[in-house]
Amino acid sequence: MPYLFLRTLFLSPTIVFAPAWLILLLIVNGVSAQTTLPDKQSLPVPTPQQLAWHDTEFYFFFHFGPNTFTNVEWGHGTEPEDIFNPTGLDCDQWCRVAKQAGARGVVITAKHHDGFCLWPSQYSIHTVRESKWREGKGDVLRELSEACRRHGLKFGVYLSPWDRNHPQYGTPEYNDVYVNTLTELLTGYGELFEIWWDGANGEGPNGKKQVYDFHRFEQVAARLQPNAIIFSDIGPGCRGVGNERGLILSETNWCTLDTAGFQRGLGAPSNDTLNRGNENGAHWIPAECDVSIRPGWFYHAEEDDQVKTPEQLWNIYLHSVGRGANLILNVPPDRRGRIHGQDSTALVAFGGKLQRSFSKNLAKGKKVITPFRVCAFTPKKYRSYILDGDRATYERLESYSGKSRDFVEIDLGKKRKFNSIVLREAIALGQNVQAFSIEVSGKEGWHEVARSTTMGARKILRFPEQKSRKIRIVIHVSKGEPALSEVEVYKI
C-alpha cells in the first residue's frame, strides 16, 4: 500500500535538530525531501515560465481599435486614422475593474487584422500617430502598461500577423516588417507575460496572402521576452481550446500536446484534440480558454443588454480554470475608452463571488491520515504539505503501482459542511493522474460523492452538500507516481 512521503524535518527550510537514530532510519527507509524542482523523468514538464503562467489563471483581453468606432468585428484596413478617438481613455479604470474581478493580468490587441497600431510604430503609417487622438502624440500601450504596473497586473500583447493595410503584406519583405513591429512591442513596454497569435491569414491590400515565418517570430520573442508565453493553436507556450466559449467541454484536460505535422490556423489539430489535449503528448502546451463577455469581441452599443451575468461568468470559470486551463476573458472598452458600466457591474459582482467562494479553506492546516505507516515511529496523523496553502510544496505517493486503489485521507477535526473540493497536482513533475474520485465518511462507512479523470494544474469539483469529518481523495489510475500540491475544501 503506497503512502505519502512527508518532507524530512532535518531538510526543512527551518533548522530542526533530529536524533541520529531518526536520520538513519529515514535514510534506510528511503524517505527523501520533496522540493519544488522536478525529478528527471520521461513525462513532459512545464518550464519555469509556464509554471508562472499557470499560476496567473485568469486575465482580461482588451479588443480595442478602429473597429470600436466603425461597429465591425474585422476591419478592412481602409479606415481613416481619425476614426480612432477615445476622448475619455482611462487605462487605470480598466485595471481597477480587472483587479476587482479577480484577474491577474491583461492582454491587448496592439494591432488587429485592420493593421492599425495602438502605438506610434515606425514601420506603419496607420497608427495612433496619424489620428487626432492626443493630437497624434498618444500611445495606448504606454498608458496601459504603466497602469498595469501601478495596479500590480501582468501585461501582454496580441499582434495580428494578418495586416489588411500594410502595402508589403503578401511579400517576403512583410516578415521583416512584422519582426520590426514585434521588436518594438517586446522592447518598449516592459516585461510581458504572454504574446498572443492566431492563425488568421487573409488577403492584404494587394490581394495576396502572406507566408508567415513563425519560426523566426518565435526566435525573436524568445530572445527579447524569454519569460513570455506564446499562445497559438500549437503553442509553443500554451494552446487554444478549439472554441471561443471559454470552456473545457469534458472532465479531461491534458496539458500535453503533439504538434508534429500541424500548423497554426487551418492546419491546427482538431477542436476536440485542442480541448482535451493528448494524453501522451510530446510537449507541455497547456490550454487557455478564450471568451468575450459580450456576443462580439469589440464594443457594440447594441450589445449593452447582452453582457454575461455574474452567474454565467462563474460557470465559465468552473469549466475553464476549474478544469486545469487558464481563462482569458475579453472585456472590450467602449468608444470613450472606458469599460462600460454594464460590463463593470457584472465583473465586480463576479469578482466578489470568486473571492467569497474561496475565502475559507476548511482543510488548511488540518491533518492527513496516512494510509500506511513508514515505520513504528511515523505518526498516524501529521500536518501535511498538501494542506499548507503553498502551491510550491507537494507530496508524492512514492510506491504507487498504477493498479491499486490508493488514497489520501484528510481529517477536518470535526464534522463540517462542504460541497466543493479543489485539487492541484504537482505539475512541476508532469501530469500523471488519469482517474480519481472523492469519498466522505458517514454512518454507513465511506461513500463516493464525485469522480473525474484528469487533475492537472487545478481541478474544482462540486457535489451535493456533505457533512462529515473525513474526506478521501482516491487515485484509481495514474501514469506513474501521483504527486499532490494542494487539497482545499469549501462550502460554496
Q: Phi/psi of residue 120, each to 5°?
A: -80, 75
Which residue has cell 480541448?
A: 275
Predicted pLDDT at 372: 43
Measured CA to CA, the distance from residue 473 to residue 450 in angstroms comes to 10
Q: How far apart are CA 81 and CA 67, in angstroms?
A: 11
**Confidence at residue 311, expressed as pLDDT on a 0 to 100 scale:** 98
Query: Are the CB atoms for 108 and 62 separated by under 8 Å?
Result: yes
Q: What is the pLDDT of residue 370?
A: 63
Q: Cell match 481602409: residue?
A: 78
Quick one: which of 466, 107, 464 has its CA closest to 290? 107
Q: Kindly list the domain boundaries of the chain, sorted by start residue.
A: 9-33+361-490, 48-357
- Integer Cα distance of 83 and 68 in angstroms: 9
Of 148, 149, 213, which is closest to residue 182 (Cα–Cα)? 213
The whole-number pLDDT of residue 32 equals: 32
Give, for all 492 residues of the chain, the pLDDT tens digit.
Answer: 333 333 333 233 333 333 443 333 333 333 333 333 344 458 999 999 999 999 999 999 999 999 999 999 999 999 999 999 999 999 999 999 999 999 999 999 999 999 999 999 999 999 999 999 999 999 999 999 999 999 999 999 999 999 999 999 999 999 999 999 999 999 999 999 999 999 899 999 999 999 999 999 999 999 999 999 999 999 999 999 999 999 999 999 999 999 999 989 889 999 999 999 999 999 999 999 999 999 999 999 999 999 999 999 999 999 999 999 999 999 999 999 999 999 999 999 999 999 999 999 999 999 988 654 343 444 555 567 899 989 889 988 754 455 556 789 999 999 999 999 999 999 999 999 999 999 999 999 999 999 999 999 999 999 999 999 999 999 999 998 899 999 999 999
Rounded Cα distance, 206 and 224, in Å: 31
Read off the pTM. Answer: 0.90
The CATH classification number of 9-33+361-490 equals 2.60.120.260
Q: Which amino acid is at 256?
A: T
Rounded to the nearest 10 degrees, the angle between the axes of helix 341-357 and helix 310-318 is 50
The 3-state secondary structure of the chain reads CCCECCCCHHHCCCCCCCCHHHHHHHHHCCCCCCCCCCCCCCCCCCCHHHHHHHHHCEEEEECCCHHHHHCCCCCCCCCCHHHCCCCCCCHHHHHHHHHHHCCCEEEEEEECCCCCECCCCCCCCCEHHHCCHHHHCCCHHHHHHHHHHHHCCEEEEEECCCCCCCCCCCCCHHHHHHHHHHHHHHHHCCCCCEEECCCCCCCCCCCCCCCCCHHHHHHHHHHHCCCCEEEECCCCCEECCCCCCCCCCCCCCCCEECCCCCCCHHHCCCHHHHHHCCCCCCEECCEEEEEECCCCCCCCHHHCCCCCCHHHHHHHHHCCCCECCEEEEECCCCCCCCCCHHHHHHHHHHHHHHHHHCCCCCCCCCEEECCCCCCCCCCCEEECHHHCCCCCCCEEECCCCCCCCEEEEEEEEEEEEEEEEEEEECHHHCCCEEEEEEEEEECCEEEEEEEECCCCCCEEEEEEEEEEEEEEEEEEEECCCCEEEEEEEECC
Q: Do domains 9-33+361-490 and 48-357 have the same CATH topology?
A: no
Q: Which residue from 14, 55, 59, 49 is spatially nearest to 33, judged by alpha carbons?
A: 14
Architecture (CATH level 2) of domain 48-357 = Alpha-Beta Barrel (3.20)
| CA distance readout (Å), 116 to 111, 134, 181 | 6, 16, 12
